[in-house]
Amino acid sequence: MGIQIYGFWRSIASFRVRVALKLKGLPFEEIPIDILSGEQFEAGYATVNAERVVPTFIHDGHSVYQSLAIIEYLDEIHPTPRLIPQDAKERAYARSLALMTVADAHPLVTPRVRNHLATAFRAESHAVEAWGKHWTTEGLATYERLLSHRPPEPFALGAEPGLADICIAGHVVTAEYVKLDLSPYPAVARLAERCFAMPAFSTSHPFEQPGYRAASKR
Amino acid sequence: MGIQIYGFWRSIASFRVRVALKLKGLPFEEIPIDILSGEQFEAGYATVNAERVVPTFIHDGHSVYQSLAIIEYLDEIHPTPRLIPQDAKERAYARSLALMTVADAHPLVTPRVRNHLATAFRAESHAVEAWGKHWTTEGLATYERLLSHRPPEPFALGAEPGLADICIAGHVVTAEYVKLDLSPYPAVARLAERCFAMPAFSTSHPFEQPGYRAASKR
């Protein structure tokens, strides 16, 4: 049985998993769960994912949750090409870079958080937008400082793209969503450009997914 | 040169690293960075941690950022006792459980987020408190569903505590902070009780740190 992903076009975490699968050349089927309309809370998906979030990775009847855990798992069962280096210090650096968006910046700008801001604080759309810009800017600034300290050659950890690049590229997609100008972050912008020149990244971009095309035609 | 941690008594991410070091029996020095008063933004710490967050792990002049990356690194360089299982599916499950709080619930309730809610939405303290309860409850409910589906024996992945237990125990400390009743989450409560019966967990608890004692005397 092949690989199935429950995902959503807009979801940055789904984007990360899509890129990882494509870099490894693994075919997969993506089953859309519309997290904007609340499909993740319907009974059907609740049995698939106890947290009611996307993505869920399923292979041979085995499920893995959380994009970073999915990418680590893929790297263990299909090690070629490696997305996480073998050297312990380099692995740690790759994971540190990944987590700066996965665990700090990105969780603050997901649809469920934006919706809850509107409900809990009667936040107007411009204030929710400013909130998104604020946290995404924090992430960009952190990455710019780190990439200036250790310049990509040409990817974050070396010659080939990996976990860190996937997560930084996803952060740049979030920056597109919240309409941020990348010019104050030239090292980040160059890295993302290099990534999106590769089909594994460009074809995984949210705006290239069938769900986005269908939504934008409505 | 020994292990140094820049951390803070209240920081759940610092708690996770403290427990991991103690479970492995590794001595360390913790240097406090008061993230409530903004010490993480001072020039001295900015050169230590480009993201201006705690914890930072330093060993032999090498720095690792982000609690999950630090624990993975520790498990690679000091594999006994293992905090992350060796089997790929079990590793994935441990990381999935960890990330549910590390990447979803916890980032929403950190001091920088609570402060920004107050600034950006003029949120009053009771509304910020409700926000904290909301996201912490979401995390508890997810863990309860997962632990009911695969009961701890007696720890989340088996006989010994590991990464998942550390992260769930940290989430339970957050629940203490926001004054949540754990009785609707009996499996989570039992797991946390088992964890805090061990000195590695109990002596790592935020309220057992010198910084908390000093702050509560003021």
Cβ atoms of B96 and A64 within 8 Å: the answer is yes
Q: Which of B73, B102, B142 sits opposite A92 (nearest CB)?
A: B73
Q: Note the pLDDT of residue A137.
A: 98
Q: Which of A89, A116, A130 sits opposite B120 (nearest CB)?
A: A130
What pTM was estimated for this model as a whole? 0.98
Cβ atoms of A203 and A196 within 8 Å: the answer is no
Q: Is there a contact between A72 and B92 if contact means CB atoms under 8 Å apart?
A: yes
Cβ atoms of B73 and B59 within 8 Å: the answer is no
Q: Look up residue B72 and give its two tokens.
A: 């993975």
Q: Which of A65, A88, A106 sits opposite B73 (nearest CB)?
A: A88
Distance, in Å, from the CA atom of A203 to the CA atom of A137, rounded to the nearest integer, reads: 25
Distances (CA, A) of A210 to A109, A136, A207, B49: 23, 26, 8, 40
Contacts of A79 (CB under 8 A, 6+ apart): none
Residue B218 has pLDDT above 80, yes or no: no
**Out of A23-32, A89-98, B113-122, least confident range:** B113-122
Residues A75-125: tens digit of each pLDDT: 999 999 999 999 999 999 999 999 999 999 999 999 999 999 999 999 999
Residues B165-215: tens digit of each pLDDT: 999 999 999 999 999 999 999 999 999 999 999 999 999 999 999 999 888
Distance, in Å, from the CA atom of A119 to the CA atom of A142, rounded to the nearest integer, reads: 30
Q: What is the CATH number of domain A88-202?
A: 1.20.1050.10
Q: Look up residue A129 and give its two tokens.
A: 């937008």
Q: Which of A96, A131, A134 sits opposite B66 (nearest CB)?
A: A96
Instruction: Report the Cα B89 to chain-centroid distance in Å.
Output: 23
What confidence category does residue A218 fall into, taking pLDDT thresholds of 50, 70 and 90?
low
Residue A213 has pLDDT above 90, yes or no: no
Chain B residues whose CB is inside 8 A of the A53 CB are 104
**Residue boundaries of the structural domains of chain A:** 3-81, 88-202
Chain A residues whose CB is inside 8 A of the B96 CB are 64-66, 69
Q: Note the pLDDT of residue A1.
A: 67
Chain A residues whose CB is inside 8 A of the B88 CB are 73, 76-77
**Mean pLDDT rounded to a whole number for chain A:** 96
Residue B79 has, within 13 A of its CA and on its CB side, a CA count of 4
End-to-end CA distance of chain B: 34
Q: Note the pLDDT of residue B146.
A: 97
Name the DSSP letter for residue A66.
Answer: S
Between chain A and chain B, the number of residue pairs with CB atoms below 8 A apart is 122
Is the Cβ of B77 closer than 8 Å to some Cβ of chain A? yes
Residues B38-79: tens digit of each pLDDT: 999 999 998 999 999 999 999 999 999 999 999 999 999 999
Is the Cβ of B89 closer than 8 Å to some Cβ of chain A? yes
Contacts of A111 (CB under 8 A, 6+ apart): A10, A35, A36
Is the Cβ of B92 closer than 8 Å to some Cβ of chain A? yes
Q: What is the CATH number of domain A3-81?
A: 3.40.30.10
ipTM of the complex: 0.97
Smallest Cα–Cα separation from B105: which of B132, B124, B66?
A: B132
Residues A35-80: tens digit of each pLDDT: 999 999 999 998 999 999 999 999 999 999 999 999 999 999 999 9
For residue B6, the surrounding DSSP H or E stretch is strand B3-7
Q: Note the pLDDT of residue A89.
A: 98
Handedness of CA B159, B161, B162, B165 (dihedral sign): positive
**What is the DSSP code string of A22-57?**
HHTT--EEEEE--TTTTGGGSHHHHTT-TT--S-EE
Q: Scanning every residue of chain A, which has its alpha carbon at the shortest distance from the alpha carbon of B55?
A: A96
